[in-house]
Amino acid sequence: MGKRRIAILGSTGSIGTQALDVIRQHRDLFDVELLTANNNAELLVRQAIEFDANAVVICNENKYDEVNSALLPHDVKVFAGMDAVCDLVGGSNIDMVLTALVGFSGLRPTVEAIKAGKPVALANKETLVAAGALVTALAREHRVPILPVDSEHSAIFQCLQGAGNNAVSRIHLTASGGPFRTWEKSAIAAARASDALKHPNWSMGAKVTVDSATMMNKGLEVIEAKWLFDIAPDDINVVVHPESVVHSMVEFEDGSVLAQLASPDMREPIQYALAYPERLSLNNRKLDFASLGSLSFFAPDPDRFPCLGLAFDAIRSGGNMPCVMNAANEVAVDAFLRDRIGFYDIPAIVRDTMAVSDSTSATTLGGFLEINAEAKARASEILASYSN
Ligand code: MG
C-alpha cells in the first residue's frame, strides 16, 4: 500500500497510544500528520517528537504554552482547542482520520472529517450512538468510508468481506461480561469505581471500562452496529463470551456463521482499519487453540445488567433517544468514577432521563449538540437525587 498520512484524534488515550504502536511497527507505511490530546501535554509532546508530527492540538487551552515551549526546538505546529481540531482534520495533508476521542465530544470533529472527504477509522462509538442517522447520511453523501475500530465491529466488518452479495440474517455481538460477570447482584450493587476498573481481558480507558462493567458498552455497540451495518436491532443477538477470543459473528440465511477470532488486543482491529484492505504484521500474541481448550458462551443477564435493555429500548424508540441515553450515561458514569453514586444508580439515572425525554429527532449537528446539552442538564438534575 502507498504511504498513508494519518491524523489521530485522542492520541494520548488507550486507542491512540495503541494506534501509534501499530504505526511504530510500520513507519514506512504511515506518516503522522496530526495528533490531538485533551489534557496530557507531556505525552502529546513526546509523541509529536517521536513521530515527527506536522501539527498537534492540545484541547485544554490552558496547556498551550507548555506544549508550545516544549516543541519550540522542533518543527511541529502547535494549536489549542476543539475548534482547531475541527479546522485541521480537513487538511489536504491528511489521508485518514482516526477518531479516538472519548464520548460525545468525538461527534463534531468526525463530522468535519467526513465533510472534508477523509476516510474515518472510527473508535468513538458515541458518535454513531448519538447521531448515527446524521453521520451515516453524511458519509454516504461524501462517499467516505467509515472503518470500524471497535473490536466487535471490526470483526463483523472482516466477516462481511466473505459475504459477497448475500444478505446477513443475524449478527452475534460478543461481550466479555466485564469484571462483574460472575458477581451476585448485591455485590455488584456495592461495587465502587476501583472494582469496575479491573477489566479481565481488555486494556481500555476509564469510561469504556465502566461501560463494560454495566454492559452499557454492549448496548452502545448494538446501536453502533445498527448504523454501521444497516441491521435491525432485533437481528442483533448479544452473547456473553468471557474469553474475548471470538470478537463477533455474522449469520446468513442458510444458518452458516462466520466468526473473526484473535487474541484480545486492540492493535489488531486498529491495524485493520488503518491499513484496510491490507493486513499488516503485528507483534501481538497469536492464538494457540490447543492451550485455549474451550470457548464458552452465555446469555446476558438482564436483571444484573439492566443497561443493555435500556439501549435496546432507546434504539427501538429511535429519533434522538439514543443521544439522550448516551448523554445521561456520560453524566452517570462520570459521577460513578468520582464515587458520588452507586453502581445501579447508573441505569437508574439513564432510565429516569429517558423517561422525561421525547424521541423526536434532530437532523442537524447543531440539533444534536442541543439535545445532548439538554439531556446532560436533565441527567445532572436527576443525579442530584441519587448522590451520596
Ligand atoms: Mg468493543
Three-state helix/strand/coil letters over the chain: CCCEEEEEECCCCHHHHHHHHHHHCCCCCEEEEEEEECCCHHHHHHHHHHCCCCEEEECCHHHHHHHHHHHCCCCCEEEECHHHHHHHCCCCCCCEEEECCCHHHHHHHHHHHHHCCCCEEECCHHHHHHHHHHHHHHHHHCCCCEEECCHHHHHHHHHHCCCCCCCEEEEEEEECCCCCCCCCHHHHHCCCHHHHCCCCCCCCCHHHHHHHHHCHHHHHHHHHHHHHHCCCHHHEEEEECCCCCEEEEEEECCCCEEEEECCCCCHHHHHHHHHCCCCCCCCCCCCCHHHHCCCCCECCCCCCCCHHHHHHHHHHHCCCHHHHHHHHHHHHHHHHHCCCCCCCHHHHHHHHHHHCCCCCCCCCHHHHHHHHHHHHHHHHHHHHCCCC
Task: Evaluate if residue 348 carries a pLDDT over 90.
Answer: yes
Q: Which whole number is the average pLDDT over 30-45? A: 98
236, 152 contact by CB (below 8 A): no
CA distance 215 to 298: 14
CA distance 96 to 48: 18
Task: Evaluate if residue 201 carries a pLDDT over 80.
Answer: no
Span from the CA of 165 to the centroid of ligand 1 (angstroms): 26
Span from the CA of 151 to the centroid of ligand 1 (angstroms): 5
Task: Evaluate if residue 356 carries a pLDDT over 90.
Answer: yes
C-alpha distances out from residue 188 to 49, 179, 195, 341, 355, Å:
44, 10, 9, 13, 24
CA distance 154 to 267: 11
Span from the CA of 173 to the centroid of ligand 1 (angstroms): 9
121: left (phi over 0), alpha (psi -120 to 50) or beta: beta
Task: Evaluate if residue 285 carries a pLDDT over 70.
Answer: yes
pLDDT band for position 103 (cuts 50, 70, 90):
confident
Q: Collect all residues with Cβ–Cβ distance below 8 Å to 19 and sequence separation of at least 6.
A: 8, 11, 98, 100, 267, 270, 274
The three cell numbers of residue 72 are: 519550540
Task: Evaluate if residue 95 carries a pLDDT over 90.
Answer: yes
**The predicted structure's pLDDT at residue 387:** 78
CA distance 187 to 200: 17
pLDDT band for position 203 (cuts 50, 70, 90):
low
Per DSSP, what are the bridge partners of residue 6? Answer: 32, 96
pLDDT band for position 146 (cuts 50, 70, 90):
very high
| Torsion over CA: 198, 203, 206, 209 (sign) | negative
**Residue 149 dihedral angles phi and psi, to the nearest 5°:** -105, -25
Span from the CA of 128 to the centroid of ligand 1 (angstroms): 13
**The predicted structure's pLDDT at residue 17:** 98
CA distance 302 to 286: 34
Span from the CA of 77 to the centroid of ligand 1 (angstroms): 33
pTM for this model (two decimals): 0.94
**The predicted structure's pLDDT at residue 204:** 72
CA distance 32 to 47: 10
Smallest CA-to-CA distance from 116 within 98, 143, 134 is with 143
Span from the CA of 352 to the centroid of ligand 1 (angstroms): 26
CA distance 315 to 329: 15
Q: Which whole number is the average pLDDT over 116-138? A: 95
Mean pLDDT of the residues in the chain = 95
CA distance 246 to 263: 9
Span from the CA of 152 to the centroid of ligand 1 (angstroms): 5
Span from the CA of 17 to the centroid of ligand 1 (angstroms): 17
Span from the CA of 79 to the centroid of ligand 1 (angstroms): 31
Span from the CA of 292 to the centroid of ligand 1 (angstroms): 21
The three cell numbers of residue 89 are: 482534520
Span from the CA of 125 to the centroid of ligand 1 (angstroms): 9
Span from the CA of 76 to the centroid of ligand 1 (angstroms): 33
Span from the CA of 305 to the centroid of ligand 1 (angstroms): 17
Span from the CA of 384 to the centroid of ligand 1 (angstroms): 30
Span from the CA of 137 to the centroid of ligand 1 (angstroms): 23
Task: Evaluate if residue 346 carries a pLDDT over 70.
Answer: yes
Q: Which of 79-83, 125-129, 183-187, 217-221 has the lowest mean pLDDT?
A: 125-129
CA distance 116 to 113: 5
**Residue 140 dihedral angles phi and psi, to the nearest 5°:** -65, -45
**The predicted structure's pLDDT at residue 359:** 80
pLDDT band for position 320 (cuts 50, 70, 90):
very high
Span from the CA of 177 to the centroid of ligand 1 (angstroms): 11
